[in-house]
Amino acid sequence: MSLLQLSDIHFRDPYVLVDQTNGKYYLYGSTGQNVWEGPAIGFDVYVSEDLAGWEGPFQAFRPSPDFWSNKHYWAPEVYARDGRYYTLASFKADNRCRATCLLIADTPLGPFEPAGDTLTPRDWECLDGTLYEDESGTPWMIFCREWLEVKDGEMYAVQLQADLQKAVSEPILLFRASEAPWSVGFGEQSSNYVTDGPYLHRMPNGELVMLWSTTGVNGYTMGLARSSSGKVTGPWIQDAEPLDIRDGGHGMIFHKFDGTLQLTIHQPNKHPLERPVMWPIEVNKGMIQLAKPAE
């Protein structure tokens, strides 16, 4: 099997699982070919030993005929916990609100199967759930409530039960997209603001930060919010300026096997050109810096 380059992989919303059990990286994402239109295919995964050459695609998830959702399979994030693999991903149907749900498998290649009910409120339009475990080991899911419903997109946290299959608290509002000084509204009277792609990261100094994406002056942009309490519930304070990225976002940070930090996003944010890209990053005086400028 010939290896693929990242430029060959048509994904949005890339997510990398670093699997310590076998020394491999697993790349998941929203399938680009039908991300907006048509019946959803499912989720694929690519595998690499060095982040340069990738094997795949492998079919990680394909819906059964009775699965409730038939379109907009977005932003799968996969976590290794207690010997199994857990996916949070967004799903949509014509007669149902967009929701984040849980899938479980015994291997990072799948097959992943649905587990539990929707983790976001059934009557809210929601997407992009990401997992965070606090200092006590309590799991939380951070997710977005869509601008399509509330105009000024919102970011929430909800506590999950230990097996991740059910939300056990009311959603807690963390912030609204317009609170970021660098965010730009659009639509009628520029009153619409997007919240996309949250991802939490603990900095070397212990500070808890959140990557998230919205529209900025240069198009789709990713910025940083900081929890002033160090807890997932915040309060969350927005950095004055976004990260140095042009027309790309929905990112996450992972440690390579050598311990260095890597950032992955999709770029550009233009269909059908979007591709996963990766850069080494450094943390300097509390700021996340790309090792090379993002074009």
State pLDDT tens for residues 242-289: 998 889 999 999 999 999 999 999 999 999 999 999 999 998 888 998
Residue from 6, 35, 11 nearest 262 by CA: 6
- CA–CA separation, 241 and 102 (whole Å): 34
Q: What is the pTM of this model?
A: 0.96
CA 41 remoteness from chain centre: 19
What domains does the chain contain, in order, with CATH numbers?
A: 6-290 (2.115.10.20)
| Side chain identity, residue 186 | F
Residue from 217, 271, 270, 273 nearest 245 by CA: 217
- CA–CA separation, 92 and 90 (whole Å): 7
Supply angle C-alpha 129, 134, 139, rounded to 5: 45
User: What is the 8-class DSSP label of residue 7?
Assistant: G
pLDDT value of position 142: 98
DSSP codes, 47-104 = EESSSSSBEEEEEEE---TT-S--EEEEEEEEEEETTEEEEEEEEEETTEEEEEEEEE
Within 8 A by CB and 6+ apart from 107, the residues are 85
Q: Sort strands 219-227 and 208-216 into parallel, antiparallel or unpaired.
A: antiparallel
- CA–CA separation, 3 and 7 (whole Å): 12
> Over the chain (295 residues), what is each successive 10-residue block's mean pLDDT?
94 97 97 91 97 98 96 98 97 96 98 96 98 97 97 98 98 98 92 97 95 95 97 98 93 96 96 96 88 60
Site of tokens 């603990």: 202
- CA–CA separation, 84 and 74 (whole Å): 21
pLDDT value of position 34: 87
